[in-house]
Structure 1
Amino acid sequence: MDQSIRILIVDDNPMMRFGLRGSLSSEEEFKVIGEAASGEEALAFVREHRPDVVTMDYKMPGGNGIKATTAILKDVPETKIILLSVFDSEEDIWKAVRAGVRGYLTKTAGDVDELIDAVKTVASGREFYPEIIAKKLRERRKMSDLSPREIEVLKLLAEGHSNKEMAVMLGIADETVKAHLVNLRSKLGAADRTQAVVIAYEKGILHLNE
C-alpha cells in the first residue's frame, strides 16, 4: 500500500513550481501529484485528486492564496494547506491562519529542510510555524480585529482625507467618523491618527501597493 504524502504545488510562477517540485520530490516519502497556477486550478485539482498537502502561493493573478484556501477547505475540509509567501506581516499571517492554513513559510527563507519538515508536520495533523512566524502570530492575537468600516476609515485616513471628507465619502456623520478613529487608535495602540496609519502599514493591515 502506498503511504506517500501526496502533494499539490500551487504557484503562478513556473520557475517556483519547478524549484518546489525538485525540492519536494527529493524526499522519498513525498509524491508531487500535480501543479496549479491559480486558485481556480487548485480547487478543481483538489476536488478531483484529494492531495494530502497543498503548498499554496499567497499572491496570484485573479485571487490570492487566502481566498483559494477558503474555497478549498469549504469543499474538501480535510486538505492540509501550507502558505508560502513573500509577506510576513502580522496581519498577513493572521489572515492565513483564520482561513485555515496549517503552516506558513516565507519564500525568502530558502530553507528546503524547513519546507520538508513543514509538509511532514501538517500531513501528520499538526501545525507548522517557524518561531519568527509564531512570534508574530502571538502578537497579532493580542490585537482586536478591525471592523470592515474601520478598515475603510483607515484606508481613507492613509490617503490623507479629513474627517469631513471621510464622512461625505462614506455617507456617515462626522461624529461617527470620530468614533471610528477613537476605536482605531485604541485597537492599534496608537497615540494619534498618524501613528495609527504607521502601525497599520507595519502590521500589514494596509499595504503600500494597494
Structure 2
Amino acid sequence: MNEPARATRIQVAISHHDPYVATGIAALLRSRADFAVLAGDSPEAGSADVLVADHARGLQPALPRRRGARPVAVLVVSDQRTSWQIRRAVDAGVRGYLLQDTTAEELSEAVRSIAAGRRYLSCAVADLLLDSLVQAVPTARELDVLQLIARGLSNKDIGRLLGIGEGTVKTHVKAILAKLGESTRIGAIAEALRRGLLPDEAPALPAPPLPAASAPAFSCA
C-alpha cells in the first residue's frame, strides 16, 4: 500500500516544554503513515490541523495563523492531572486532553478524532473532569484571596494588598470555605492543593495600593 500523500496527511505541530516528551510524541506519530509531524516553531506549523502541546501552551497556543484560517485544534498531553487544571483547559477551548502515560494507539486516535472535528478525553481525564463539574468554582477574586490565605496573611493584610475592605475579604473567605467544603483555612488550603487551585510556587505578592497624596511636611530650625 502506498504511503498517503503529504497533502492528505493530518498535519500535526508539536509544542511541548519538555523536549523528551516532545521527541517521544513526534516519534510515535511519525510511525503512523497518516501523520505529517511539524515542529511547533517551524513556518509550516501555522497551517497545522492539530497542535499537541503541554498544559500551559495548550491554553494559549502561539502558532502563527494565516489571515482567515480557522483556529488550530489543540490536544494537551500533560502530567497536570487535577480536576481543576483539566477543567481550565476544556473551558479554554482545548479539544482533547491526555495524560503523559498515554499509549501510542490512544495518542494516534486522539489526533485523528480532533482533526475530524471531534473531542477526545482519555477515560481517566473524563472521570476527573466529571468530578470538577459537581464542584463549585471559586471566582477570580476568590482565587486571589485563596492564594494570600495560603501565604498566611490575615484578612486585614489581604484587604490592604488587594485594595478591598476587611469586611469584603471576610465575605470572600466565607465563600471559599463553602465552595471547598471546609470549615477552616488550613482545611481549605489542603483541599485547594488537592484540586490544583493553588500554584506549585507561591506567586509574588501584589503591591499595596498607594496612599492618598498628602501635603509635604516641612521643618524649620
Task: Structure 1: give runs of 5+ residues left out of the alignment.
Answer: none
* Matched residue count: 196
Q: Deviations over 1:116-166 (max 9, x none)?
A: 111111112111111111011111122333222111110010111111221
1:180-195 aligned at under 5 Å gives the runs 180-195=172-187
Cα gap change, 1:140 to 1:22, in 2 (>3 Å): same
Q: Which residue of 2 aligns with 1:130?
A: 122
Q: Which residue of 1 aligns with 2:208?
A: none
Cα gap change, 1:180 to 1:10, in 2 (>3 Å): same
Cα gap change, 1:159 to 1:69, in 2 (>3 Å): same
* Structure with the larger helix share: 1
Cα gap change, 1:164 to 1:190, in 2 (>3 Å): same
1:68 counterpart = 2:61? yes
Q: Which residue of 2 aligns with 1:35?
A: 39
Aligned-residue sequence identity (percent) comes to 29
Is this contact kept in 2: 1:70–1:100, CA < 8 A? Answer: no
**Distance in 2 (alpha carbons) for counterparts of 1:170 and 1:7:** 43
Q: Which residue of 1 aligns with 2:212?
A: none
1:6 counterpart = 2:16? no
1:158 counterpart = 2:155? no
Task: Return 11-20 or 83-92, whichever deviates more.
Answer: 11-20
TM-score, normalized by length of structure 1?
0.83
Partner-residue secondary structure (3-state), 2:137: coil
Highest CA radius of gyration, 1 or 2? Answer: 2
**The one of 80, 88, 93 aligned to 2:73:** 80
**Distance in 2 (alpha carbons) for counterparts of 1:92 and 1:161:** 25
1:144-155 aligned at under 5 Å gives the runs 144-155=136-147
Cα gap change, 1:162 to 1:66, in 2 (>3 Å): same
Cα RMSD of the aligned pairs, angstroms, is 2.4
Task: Structure 2: give runs of 5+ residues left out of the alignment.
Answer: 203-221
Is this contact kept in 1: 2:45–2:64, CA < 8 A? Answer: no
Q: Which residue of 1 aligns with 2:171?
A: 179
**Distance in 1 (alpha carbons) for counterparts of 2:134 and 2:17:** 34
Cα gap change, 1:101 to 1:194, in 2 (>3 Å): same
**Distance in 2 (alpha carbons) for counterparts of 1:104 and 1:5:** 18
- For 2:24, give the aligned amino acid: G
Superposition deviation, residue 11 in structure 1: 1.7
